[in-house]
Structure 1
Amino acid sequence: MGRLLARWVDLVHHTAVWVVVAATLGCALLLHYTVTHLGVDTSTANMISARLPWRQTFIDFRQAFPQLTANIIVVIDADTPELAEDAQEQLGAALQANARTYHSVNLVRGGDFFHRNGLLYLSTQELDAFADRVAAAQPFLRQLSDDLSLQTLFALLVQTLDADAALSDTERIQWALAEAFAASSDGRFHRLSWRELMASPRARPGAHQRLLLLRPRADDAQPRHRRVAVEGIRDAVERLGLGTETGVRVRLTGAVAMEYEELASVQAGTALAGVLSMMLVIVVLFVILRSLRLVLASVLSLLAGLIATGAFAAVAVGRLNLISIAFAVLYIGLAADFAIHFCARCRELLDAGHELRESLRQSAADVGASLLICASTTAIGFYAFIPTDFAGVAQLGLISGTGMFISLAVSLTVLPALISVMPPPPRTGAAPPPLHVRTLALVGAGVLRHRTGVRAATIVASALAAVSLSGVSFDDNPLNLRDRTSESVQTFLELVNDPDNIPLTLSVLTSSHEGFSATREELLRLETVASVRSIDDFVPSDQQEKLAVIDELAFIMGGELAQPQRPRIDPDTDFEHIREFARVLSAHLARVGLERAPAAAHLSAQLQDWITATEDLPRTERSRRVGELVESVLATLPRQLAALNAALRAEAIDVDALPESLQALWVSVDGRRRLEVVPSNDVSDDAELGRFVRSVRAAVPAATGMPVVQIEAGRAVIDAFRFAFLSAFGLIFVILLALLRSLRDALAVVFQLLLAAALTGAAAVVFGIEFNFANIIALPLLLGMGVDSAIHMAHRRRAAPPADGNLLGTSTGRAVVFSVLTTIFSFGTLALSAHAGTASMGLLLTLGMIMTLVCTLVVLPALLSRATRR
């Protein structure tokens, strides 16, 4: 093999210029193809094989109800229920008008249907209490609807000072008005909520949060579609002025939003890691090669191989996933090894006085075979995942494994051609060995001299590592792989803890009414199930009784109330009305005493402060402040009056009367009905989530949803890890036996590999690193990468053994150290990513390579030395 590779490199040397030209043109074509054909699939669900039964069930569910999985949830929080509802309607209308981007826009618990029939969803007790309060407030509301002004409001309030409250307890509106005047004095945006004033003090206040459920026209293969959908919402929010300055906060979550932000996080992290990795590799190359031309040749060959690997990815898979997107950083760290070993040997031969042609030929003969074997063993670590159901890492394995052979071909073709075109200048004079050369030689000599102590320490370390491995754990929660500081993840976690909006539910599809009822009853008997929802829950109970109450209230109200669009504002007149009301209120307090009327006293103080701060302002500024105050106090009342008018027109409803957008969430196009299973415990705890999923699927195996995907995907990943680790281990052991032709040497190498893996697991336990979907590739990959160093050392001992037996004193030993350092630096840059999955993969691979380096430099020489002596 060595002779064949030497001849090949000699041919490359003679045609170096043509090889470089051909490589340049080829890279240009491949780069263009990669840019135009390589996409990204942002779906995390697609990272598990679709052939698994639970995946097929989930795919069927996703196709039946796409708006429940491939969605964007817009969460609107506002200072008042009216602001939240208004923002929901404005934003919903704006997005519905953009049919090219959004397939459907569902106003959750909003829209005309719920405005008209909302009272039917109250309990009979709540409806009776509401009706009593509105009936008592009828004169108050009638007069304000006819003349929506501060003058009318203050006149009505004066009447309540010495009488029973009309709208509610008098103090409630007094406290609310005091807050309005305080906000005006402070220059804060504020809106008084008339809906909350009309609600019973014991009733649940109107929701300050509203949701929009969007199904964008987004394809997993087109991240641009996700960006357009997400940015389209943000543009509409900005255009409508929905911000904290108007009492509204809009946030995005849901599968599409989280995948969009996750892709942005992964891309930013891998781009940063790629740049830093290349810079660190250049530094390491310069330290070991000490030649700018050799460094430049190595970097250019790295880039050529990276471009070719990217083109292969475009052909082989077409779309990267959120794990395989890291192939570029892995390639830089691993492919640099080939350049280091080839160039280090070439540099050694040149320093010994050989001609460039002979140095290239001899380098190929000396290290070419070991490079081929190392490419194979590293590829095995990657390829071991291909037959598994973990499609996400299987894709990375296919790309990166093949990338190792591409790197090998580039290192034996493009690299020697570049060196021939840019030959390194000869060194003048005999320079003393650099510090790192002397240090490695001393380390190697020390290991050989104290091999007995090294072996004893190895036994102790092995025992400690084995004990620590009992603490290794696997985190199957995909949320923990995402950036916890991102808006979409933080918002999703809030929804998980909200009993009204729990997103971690399970779904069961039934095709018959009998199966529907039986399944529901069976699920309700489970301890882990709080409730089972269906479309039937949106048909109100006791409708005839409730409609009678509503009809009676409509009669009391004497017909519909007028619906003014905006409050009547006359700044000068309103300012005088405010001063007059303050005077009347002060007189009232003087009669009853401050202690008996705390709300009135607080309102009076705020009024006086506001008047003092406002009366000396310039007329224009004072008019603006008065106008803002009137808006603050009365602006939400028109919406409440319109809502009341609509609610008094309620009619009996059945399932068929429900809005189509609501029915689509519960009944599929083919007629199957969905049951939504709600957990009884806090499923933000992974243990409780697993208990919930297991109990429900034990009763109904067809139950599906994201919790099932999370649990089953974790099992699939663990199974994939076991298969990949054992497969890689077996194949690598066979290669070692064939290469070393010594069972004792092969066992020594395997032992140090297993020790490095065990130490990596122990370090993960110590540093609190859990295995997850992203970093579980580390251990099988470390087997393939870790054995490379041992192969180089063993091959050098056979091909060109050093006289003193100290391999660390040779160029091969130095190349091993520096190639591992480049890999450590490259993987370490991944740990800087904001994406938790990418960072954990980089961190675990870095720890693993450090352990591998220690075992290779210390443990392996001691074990091989013992074998040699015997």
Structure 2
Amino acid sequence: MLWVSKAAAQRRKGFFVFSLAITFILTALALAPSVTPGGLPFLKPLTIDTDPENMLPADAPVRVRHGALKSVFDIYDFVVVGVVNEKHPQGVFNARDLSHVKMLTDTAKSLSYERDGRSAGIIAADIIAPSTVDNIETESLGAVSFSWLMATPPESDGDAARIRDQMLTIPMYKGTMISDDGTALALYYPISDKSISYAVEQDLRALIDTFEATGASYHITGLPVAEDRFGSEMFFQMAVSAPLAMLFVFGLLWLFFGHVRIILISLLAAMASVVCTMALLVISGQTVHIMSSMIPIFIIPIAVLDDIHILSDFYDKYTPGRDRLEIVNEVMADLWRPMWYTTLTTAVGFASLMLTPIPPVQVFGLFVAIGVFVAWFFTVTLLPAYFMSLPDKALADFGALQKSDRAVRDQSWLGRFLRTAGPYAGHHAKAIIVISLVLVVWAGAGITKITVNDNPIKWFERSDQIRVADRIINEQFAGSYMAYLHLSADSGMSDAPFKNPELLRYMAKMSTDLEAESAVIGKISGLDDIVATVHRELFNEAAAYRIPDTQPAVAQTLLMYENSHRPDDIWTFVTPDFQEAILWFQLKSGDNSEMAQVEILVGDYLSRNPPPLALASEWFGLTYINLVWQDKMVSGMLKAFLGSFIVVLILTTLLFRSLSWGVLAMIPLVLTVSLIYGAVGWAGVDYDMPTAVLSSLSLGLAVDYAIHFLTRTREIFRTEQAWEPTLGKMFEAPSRAITRNVIVVGVGFLPLLAANLVPYRTVGILITSILILAGATSLIVLPALISVFQQPLFRRERIPA
């Protein structure tokens, strides 16, 4: 591959034109369908999808089941609005606040949006709000009256209090729509399409801002809102965070090399790599998902890493009187092999993500791998060509030798530090190895404490209004996260089994027991609630809140409920043939770990307490789907990491033509991954999507440093024929290049910590940690291991006496 760099150095104009042309053409092709729709029918316009449901393939059983059962039971996703007033003695149940609530609900009914050529909006008939539900009360003994709970806004606070009291007597509303203390309201606006949730939130907030001040606060949350809003903000975040990180990298490069014109090419090459990769993503018709939006953040450090090795070696070798082409060729001759193999190993690390069963992660892995090769090409061609294009005056006072007092070796603070501290690793090898083993044990214990968990709400910082809303609503009410347990009976076992009093009593007891057993289950609603409520009003006594004793009596309560304003609510709990039913679980947390606990709890309950009729059970709902794809991601990431680890080991073995050196190159990777994920476990940080994906980055970067270190070590040893002088020379130019990489890219991506989206901050923290640890283990542990095992390791490099 060295010939590519030599050709670029000699035909620099041609490579500049080619790089510029390919970048322009790919960008134009990516933008054309969006700028001129229909102009290029064979290309697809940019499409964005932030729905975590699409983490699973469209034909995944859980998604197919989810879609089918939502249709059967007429279930929709909700935008949840919590209304709290801590200043009024009656809370929100005062005339002015309830008037605002009525206005908000009436406006919500009329909201309509266009999505992909079709109309989407709020399902008015299924809104759960005081003005859209019934007050259920006794009309006379044996007769039940259904009337609108709040047909018109209350005229006085006394009227508002009566509405509150009526709501508290209806178990279906308590904890769901009205808080247990009767001071707060929750409104549930079902949406026909999740993609409008953020638009709904914005429109509702615009109306709320016009309300007169009453002391009430409005909190809007829900999984669809979080997912859709993240999609609205992630591109803005990328547009700010990535350039800011690049600017920081630029400043650090300038600090090390001191010449803006020289380091500018490095940033331009990295930017071209990102542009070409993202353009290829769009041209290929791939959707830009949450994962693929992060591609630039991953490509930039990978692209800059090789650039810094070249800049550093050129900086160390350049002298004005020497032929520049000779210097450039020497630099690339030293670096082409480790750069090519680190490109291969890094690409393999990301391409291994295609082994995961999650399409967006597969796309992410594939295109980062492509981006790695694009970055390699731009690095090994544009930098040599650029160096040859610079006038002599641009290189005035450039280079370590020109700045050195003795013009023999680098006298910078970094050079002096490495020259003094570097050999320490070789001279205290046993102590370093023991400390490393202790750290591995510590990390192993931490890894056992890792909690696999994710929650789209937690993609926002704690102070964000959506997190605040989530916290307040789930403190005041039964929960804003919905999960559904589907129960089905064998059609041949019983006629209308879900009219069977014994089965309905079982469902009611199960709901009560589970609510008592789990703090995360706020409330479970089902057909039994409707039956028991109507039965109570038939007899006008609290003791009658129960399931009737006979199936005809159950049928009578349901027939009466069909006289309400919302008779179809029955069919959101049971099918018309009463062969299938669902229980609505309101959860106080959307954490996947909490959903997993609920799933286990319900499974254990059904095993310990068999229902009176044999039932099949299965889960569906957004909260459950998030759990499924998270589980698949974890198992898929582990499979991908192990697969790529083996491939990278094979590649390093082939590179060094030695299994011993190949294994040695993998040790910094093992240490880096162990320490990073051990720290994650000890810190109690959730193992979520960004945390899992970054294992691939750690693989590529840890091996990168190790390959550079070991390749140069063997080359120097062939000349020196002794470990001690080799160790000294290794902590000159080669170690300076690695250390500059650690500082520039590690510290350079700290600006990501300023992002207001948590996944970007996670990426920033972990990239920095991975780079520092990978660099440290390569510069400290590898010399120690070589010192101990130098005899067998250098067997081939030794020249017989």
Q: Per the shorter chain, which TM-score range?
A: 0.7 to 0.9
Partner of 2:65: 57
Question: C-alpha displacement at 1:740, in angstroms?
Answer: 1.0
Change in 2 beyond 3 A, CA 1:659/1:357: same
User: Does structure 2 conserve the Cα–Cα contact (< 8 Å) formed by 1:253 and 1:491?
Assistant: yes
Once the two structures are overlaid, the 10-residue window that deviates more, 532-541 or 355-364, is 532-541
Question: C-alpha displacement at 1:683, in angstroms?
Answer: 6.3
* C-alpha distance in 2 between matches for 1:829 and 1:85: 45
Change in 2 beyond 3 A, CA 1:334/1:817: same
Partner of 1:192: 157
Equivalent in 105, 110, 114 of residue 92 of structure 1: 105
Partner of 1:776: 692
Q: What whole-Å deviation, never above 9, does each CA across 1:15-62 have from its counterpart, x for those lacking one?
A: 355346535644652674598643431212222344543343224334
Q: What whole-Å deviation, never above 9, does each CA across 1:314-333 have from its counterpart, x for those lacking one?
A: 23463222233222122222
Partner of 1:229: 200
User: Does structure 2 conserve the Cα–Cα contact (< 8 Å) formed by 1:356 and 1:423?
Assistant: no
Partner of 1:242: 211
Partner of 1:29: 28
Question: C-alpha displacement at 1:219, in angstroms?
Answer: 6.3
User: Does structure 1 conserve the Cα–Cα contact (< 8 Å) formed by 2:454 and 2:591?
Assistant: no
Once the two structures are overlaid, the 10-residue window that deviates more, 827-836 or 740-749, is 827-836
Counterpart secondary structure, 1:75: strand
Counterpart secondary structure, 1:309: helix
* C-alpha distance in 1 between matches for 2:103 and 2:270: 53
Q: Does 1:860 align with 2:776?
A: no
Equivalent in 736, 750, 753 of residue 831 of structure 1: 753
Equivalent in 431, 454, 457 of residue 403 of structure 2: 431
* C-alpha distance in 1 between matches for 2:422 and 2:164: 82
Change in 2 beyond 3 A, CA 1:663/1:837: farther
Map 1:289-304 to 2 at 5 A: 289-304=257-272
In structure 1, runs of 5+ residues without a counterpart are: 129-144, 149-190, 549-650
Q: Does 1:102 align with 2:124?
A: no
Partner of 1:528: 514
User: Does structure 1 conserve the Cα–Cα contact (< 8 Å) formed by 2:9 and 2:388?
Assistant: no
* C-alpha distance in 2 between matches for 1:336 and 1:759: 24
Partner of 2:451: 473
Question: C-alpha displacement at 1:401, in angstroms?
Answer: 1.9
Q: What whole-Å deviation, never above 9, does each CA across 1:203-235 have from its counterpart, x for those lacking one?
A: 769855444433446565xxxx55433322222
* C-alpha distance in 2 between matches for 1:287 and 1:706: 49
User: Does structure 2 conserve the Cα–Cα contact (< 8 Å) formed by 1:19 and 1:417?
Assistant: no
Counterpart secondary structure, 2:403: coil
Change in 2 beyond 3 A, CA 1:529/1:209: closer
Q: What whole-Å deviation, never above 9, does each CA across 1:433-467 have from its counterpart, x for those lacking one?
A: 32212222223233233334333433333344334
Map 1:118-133 to 2 at 5 A: 118-120=135-137
Partner of 2:548: none
Partner of 1:48: 56
Q: Does 1:754 align with 2:754?
A: no
Change in 2 beyond 3 A, CA 1:294/1:99: same
* C-alpha distance in 2 between matches for 1:859 and 1:344: 23
Change in 2 beyond 3 A, CA 1:41/1:794: same
Question: C-alpha displacement at 1:371, in angstroms?
Answer: 1.6
RMSD over aligned Cα atoms? 4.1
Q: Does 1:739 align with 2:659?
A: no
Q: What whole-Å deviation, never above 9, does each CA across 1:650-699 have from its counterpart, x for those lacking one?
A: x98433754377467457899996522447x9768977643321243564
| Residues paired across the two proteins, number | 697
User: Does structure 2 conserve the Cα–Cα contact (< 8 Å) formed by 1:106 and 1:214?
Assistant: no
Once the two structures are overlaid, the 10-residue window that deviates more, 478-487 or 400-409, is 478-487
Map 1:494-533 to 2 at 5 A: 494-498=472-476, 500=478, 503-508=481-486, 514=496, 516-517=498-499, 523-524=507-508, 526=510, 527-528=513-514, 533=525
Counterpart secondary structure, 2:417: helix
Q: Does 1:817 align with 2:739?
A: yes
User: Does structure 2 conserve the Cα–Cα contact (< 8 Å) formed by 1:377 and 1:785?
Assistant: no
Change in 2 beyond 3 A, CA 1:653/1:486: farther
Question: C-alpha displacement at 1:305, in angstroms?
Answer: 1.0
Equivalent in 691, 713, 718 of residue 597 of structure 2: 691
Once the two structures are overlaid, the 10-residue window that deviates more, 488-497 or 538-547, is 538-547
Paired AA for residue 819 in structure 1: N
Map 1:583-622 to 2 at 5 A: none
Q: What whole-Å deviation, never above 9, does each CA across 1:81-120 have from its counterpart, x for those lacking one?
A: 5444433332222232333452423564547774xx5142
* C-alpha distance in 2 between matches for 1:58 and 1:202: 31
Change in 2 beyond 3 A, CA 1:16/1:678: closer
Change in 2 beyond 3 A, CA 1:704/1:309: same
Q: Which has the larger radius of gyration?
A: 1
Counterpart secondary structure, 1:213: strand
Paired AA for residue 189 in structure 2: L
Map 1:531-570 to 2 at 5 A: 533-534=525-526, 537-538=529-530, 541-542=534-535, 545=538
* C-alpha distance in 2 between matches for 1:335 and 1:807: 26
Question: C-alpha displacement at 1:738, in angstroms?
Answer: 0.5
User: Does structure 1 conserve the Cα–Cα contact (< 8 Å) formed by 2:482 and 2:584?
Assistant: no
User: Does structure 2 conserve the Cα–Cα contact (< 8 Å) formed by 1:534 and 1:666?
Assistant: yes
Paired AA for residue 91 in structure 1: L
Question: C-alpha displacement at 1:862, in angstroms?
Answer: 2.0
Q: Does 1:450 align with 2:428?
A: yes
Once the two structures are overlaid, the 10-residue window that deviates more, 698-707 or 670-679, is 670-679
Counterpart secondary structure, 2:318: helix
Paired AA for residue 120 in structure 1: E
Partner of 1:75: 82
Partner of 1:847: 769
Partner of 2:550: none
Map 1:136-147 to 2 at 5 A: none
User: Does structure 2 conserve the Cα–Cα contact (< 8 Å) formed by 1:666 and 1:675?
Assistant: yes
Q: What whole-Å deviation, never above 9, does each CA across 1:776-829 have from its counterpart, x for those lacking one?
A: 122333122100111112222345667531354343322222223333234433
* C-alpha distance in 2 between matches for 1:828 and 1:444: 26
Question: C-alpha displacement at 1:841, in angstroms?
Answer: 3.4
Question: C-alpha displacement at 1:295, in angstroms?
Answer: 0.8
User: Does structure 1 conserve the Cα–Cα contact (< 8 Å) formed by 2:222 and 2:480?
Assistant: no
Identical pairs, percent: 18
Equivalent in 789, 800, 824 of residue 705 of structure 2: 789
Paired AA for residue 452 in structure 2: F
Paired AA for residue 8 in structure 2: V
Counterpart secondary structure, 2:211: coil
Change in 2 beyond 3 A, CA 1:676/1:353: farther
Partner of 1:213: 188
Partner of 2:437: 459
* C-alpha distance in 1 between matches for 2:20 and 2:592: 57
User: Does structure 1 conserve the Cα–Cα contact (< 8 Å) formed by 2:499 and 2:578?
Assistant: no
Question: C-alpha displacement at 1:388, in angstroms?
Answer: 0.9
Once the two structures are overlaid, the 10-residue window that deviates more, 533-542 or 306-315, is 533-542
* C-alpha distance in 2 between matches for 1:497 and 1:751: 48
Question: C-alpha displacement at 1:72, in angstroms?
Answer: 1.8
Q: Does 1:655 align with 2:572?
A: no
